[in-house]
Amino acid sequence: MTDGDVGLLELARTWLAEDPDPDTRAELAALLDAGITDDLADRFAGTLQFGTAGLRGALGAGPNRMNRVVVLRAAAGLAAYLKQTGASGPVVIGYDARHNSDVFARDTAEVMTGVGIDALLLPRPLPTPVLAFAIRDQGAAAGVMVTASHNPPQDNGYKVYLGDGSQIVPPADIEIAAQIAAASAGPVSDIPRGDGGTVLGDDVVARYLARVTTLVDSCGPREVVTVHTALHGVGSDLALRAIRLAGFPEPIPVAEQAEPDPEFPTVAFPNPEEPGAIDLALAKAAEVGADLVIANDPDADRCAVAVPTRESGWRMLRGDEVGALLADHLLRTGAAGTYACSIVSSSLLGKQAAAYGQPFVETLTGFKWIGRLEGLAFGYEEALGYCVDPTVVKDKDGISAAVRVVELAALLKASGHTLLDRLDEIALTHGVHATDQLSVRVTDLSLIGEAMERLRATAPTSLAGAEVTSAEDLTAGTATLPPTDGLRYHLADGSRVIVRPSGTEPKLKCYLEVVIPVEGAPHLAAARVEASRRLAALKDDMRGALGL
C-alpha cells in the first residue's frame, strides 16, 4: 500500500468518525471495507467548491459530495459571514423534495440558531421563487434554498441569497467560501447547534400567490386551455393555484409527473429542455386539445412553453422565443424600466426595448447578475428563466412567468391569434433571430479547460462560411461586463457564437445566434429556412472546433 493510499484511508476514517448521518456513514464504511477504489479517491480528491451558484453535486459521503457534513460547514461559513458583515435579520430557509433537502434545511436552521441568528423555515417543500419572495417579505438578512434545480436525481445543492433577495455575486461568494474553509478546519462537532428555528405558516405562500395574481389585467380574456407538468418537482400545486386564482381555467396536470418524486421516474433527465422530458405533457395536450403546455423544472424557477404548430404536432418554444414574447407583452402594456438578458441570450431584446424607448442591459450569465439591476422591468436568460415581477422576486420565477404566458395566450386567442402569430409579428419588425445551442457533456472536467485553451490558442477564422470579424476573450472583462470564462465570436454575416463552461453542470456550451432581416411577410418563411440552415452549419463547425 502506498503512502497516498494510507493518507486516503486516514482521511476517510476521520470523516467516518465525524459524520452525523447514519446513511453516509454506512456508505463510507462499505467503501473502506472494500479497500482503495476510484470512487473513494474521488470523494476525497478535493472539496465541493462554494461559488456564485452556491454548492451543487452528487449526494454521498466525503468532502467532494453533498452531505450533512458539507452542509453544516457551509451553514457555519454563511453564519460567520453574516456576523462579520453585521447583517441583521433572520435567515429564511427553503427546500425542495429532493433526497435530503429537508434534512439539509433543518441542519442549516440549527447552525443559524446556534450562533444567535433567527432561522425561519418555509412550511414545506416549495418552489425556489417562494424562497426569493420570502426573503424580502420577512426582512431577512439572507436566504438559503436547498435544491439542485434540474440536475439528475443523485444531486442536491445549496443556493444562497443575501438580504436584497438576489443571489450572491463576487466578492460575497469568495468571502463566504473563506468562512466555510475556516469552519472546515476543525471537527464538525465543534460547530454550535441550536434548535430548528421557526417554521413559517402558509400565509407566506398566500402572500406570494396574491402578488402573482395582481400581475395580470383583471379585465382581460380568460378562455384558454393549458396543460401543466411539474416534472416530479414542487411546482404543481402553486402553478395550478396561481393560474386559477388569476381567473383562468385551472390547467390540466400531467398526473404521472404532478407529485414530487426525488427519483424523477418518468424522465431521463428532469430538465424541460432535454429531449423527451415533456413528451407526456405533449401527449396530454394533444388528447385534450390544449392551447399550450407549461412545464416547470423541479424547483419551478424555470418555465418552458410548448404550442401546437400550424401544420400538425407540437413544438417547445426556445427560451429566447418566450423571452421575446414576454418582453413584447410587457412593453405593449407599458411596463417601464430596464430590460435585461444575459450575454448568451438573443440580441433581440435590445432591439425590442429600444423600439419602446426603454433602456437595455446585457449581463453575465446567471440571474445573480440580472436580478440585482436597479430599475429592472423584465429580465430573462435563454435557459428558460424569466423575471416578470422584479420588485418582489429578484430572481427567475417559473410560476409568475407561467401566469403571464397564460394571460398572453388567452389575449391572443380572443382575437383569433396564437403565440406563433405574435412571434411572426416580432420577426417582421426586428428580423428573424434564430438561436440554438451546442452542449457537450463530459465526465472528465479537464477536457473543458483543454477545449477552451485550444480555442484561445487558435481562434477560428471562419464559421459556417462567414468570416469571424472579432474574437473576444471575456476573461479580461469588457467595458460593460466583469471578467468571465468565455469566448465570443462575431461573424461578418451578423451571426454570433459564445462559448463558455456551464456553471452548474459538467458541460461545455456554445450559444449560437443568426439574424436574418425580413422584407415583408411573404419572405418570412424563406428567412426562417435560411436561418435554420446557417444555424446547422454553425453547429457543425463549432463541434469540430471544440474537438470533443
Q: What percent of the chain has pLDDT over 90?
A: 89
**Which residues lie closer than 8 Å to 150 by C-beta, 6 or more apart?**
231, 269, 270, 271, 272, 273, 297, 298, 299, 302
> Do 236 and 258 meet the contact criterion of CB atoms below 8 Å apart?
yes
Task: Give the mean pLDDT of the chain.
Answer: 95
pLDDT at residue 33 is higher than 80: yes
**DSSP type of residue 165:** S
Catalytic: 462? no
DSSP 3-state of 146: strand
> CA 371 to CA 377: how far, in whole Å?
10
> CA 159 to CA 51: how far, in whole Å?
9
**Which residues lie closer than 8 Å to 214 by C-beta, 6 or more apart?**
none
To which H or E segment does residue 4 belong?
Answer: helix 3-18
C-alpha closest to that of 314 among 323, 326, 305, 324:
305
DSSP 3-state of 361: strand
To which H or E segment does residue 357 belong?
Answer: none
Q: Identify the burial level of 3 via C-beta atoms within 10 angstroms of its C-beta, where 0-12 means exposed, 13-18 middle and 19 or more buried.
A: exposed
Average pLDDT estimate for 307-326: 94
Please tell me the least confidently modeled range out of 57-66, 131-140, 315-324, 434-443.
Answer: 434-443
DSSP 3-state of 38: helix
pLDDT at residue 504 is higher than 80: no
Q: Residue 87 carries which side chain, given as an amino acid letter?
A: A
Confidence bin at 35 (pLDDT 50/70/90): confident
Can you identify the CATH homologous superfamily of domain 431-546?
Answer: Alpha-D-phosphohexomutase, C-terminal domain (3.30.310.50)
What is the crossing angle of helices 101-114 and 68-85, to 10°?
40
Can you identify the CATH homologous superfamily of domain 206-214+222-428?
Answer: Alpha-D-Glucose-1,6-Bisphosphate, subunit A, domain 3 (3.40.120.10)
Q: Residue 385 carries which side chain, given as an amino acid letter?
A: G
Q: Which pLDDT belongs to residue 502? A: 85
To which H or E segment does residue 517 belong?
Answer: none
Q: Which residue has the cell 500500500?
A: 1
Q: Which pLDDT belongs to residue 356? A: 98
> CA 47 to CA 291: how far, in whole Å?
48
C-alpha closest to that of 408 among 311, 329, 487, 478:
329
> CA 208 to CA 203: how far, in whole Å?
9
Largest CA distance in the chain: 76
**266-283 pLDDT per residue, tens:** 999 999 999 999 999 999
Q: Which pLDDT belongs to residue 477? A: 87
> CA 133 to CA 93: how far, in whole Å?
12
Cβ neighbours of 237 (radius 10 Å): 19
pLDDT at residue 531 is higher than 80: yes
| Domain 3-201 shares a fold with domain 206-214+222-428 | yes
C-alpha closest to that of 126 among 406, 393, 404, 504:
393
**381-411 pLDDT per residue, tens:** 999 999 999 999 999 999 999 999 999 999 9
Average pLDDT estimate for 294-303: 98
Q: Report residue 211 as a C-alpha cell.
A: 402578488
Q: Which pLDDT belongs to residue 360? A: 98
pLDDT at residue 3 is higher than 70: no
> CA 199 to CA 492: how far, in whole Å?
57
Angle at 177 between CA 174 and CA 179, to 5 degrees: 115
Q: Report residue 515 as a C-alpha cell.
A: 439574424
User: How big is the chain, counted in residues?
Assistant: 548
Confidence bin at 480 (pLDDT 50/70/90): confident
**161-191 pLDDT per residue, tens:** 999 999 999 899 999 999 999 999 999 999 9
Domain spans of the chain? 3-201, 206-214+222-428, 431-546
Confidence bin at 479 (pLDDT 50/70/90): confident
Q: Report residue 285 as a C-alpha cell.
A: 395536450
Please tell me the least confidently modeled range out of 197-201, 306-310, 476-480.
Answer: 476-480
> Do 72 and 63 meet the contact criterion of CB atoms below 8 Å apart?
no
Instruction: Give the CATH number of domain 3-201.
Output: 3.40.120.10
Alpha-helix residue ranges (DSSP H) falling in 376-492: 398-414, 419-430, 446-457
Average pLDDT estimate for 281-299: 98
Average pLDDT estimate for 502-511: 86
**Which residues lie closer than 8 Å to 491 by C-beta, 6 or more apart?**
463, 464, 466, 467, 468, 469, 497
pLDDT at residue 1 is higher than 70: no
Q: Which pLDDT belongs to residue 4? A: 62
Confidence bin at 345 (pLDDT 50/70/90): very high
Q: Which pLDDT belongs to residue 14? A: 94
Confidence bin at 2 (pLDDT 50/70/90): low
Q: Identify the burial level of 349 via C-beta atoms within 10 angstroms of its C-beta, where 0-12 means exposed, 13-18 middle and 19 or more buried.
A: buried
Indicate the pairing of strand 303-308 with strand 314-316. Answer: antiparallel
**Which residues lie closer than 8 Å to 514 by C-beta, 6 or more apart?**
432, 433, 434, 435, 493, 494, 495, 531, 534, 535, 538
Could you give the C-alpha distances from 74 to 15, 103, 183, 426, 530, in angstroms and in order?
16, 14, 8, 46, 50
Confidence bin at 535 (pLDDT 50/70/90): very high
Q: Residue 327 carries which side chain, given as an amino acid letter?
A: A
Q: Which pLDDT belongs to residue 7? A: 82
Q: Which pLDDT belongs to residue 300? A: 98
**353-375 pLDDT per residue, tens:** 999 999 999 999 989 999 999 99
Confidence bin at 503 (pLDDT 50/70/90): confident
Q: Which of 88, 101, 149, 342 is catalytic?
A: 149
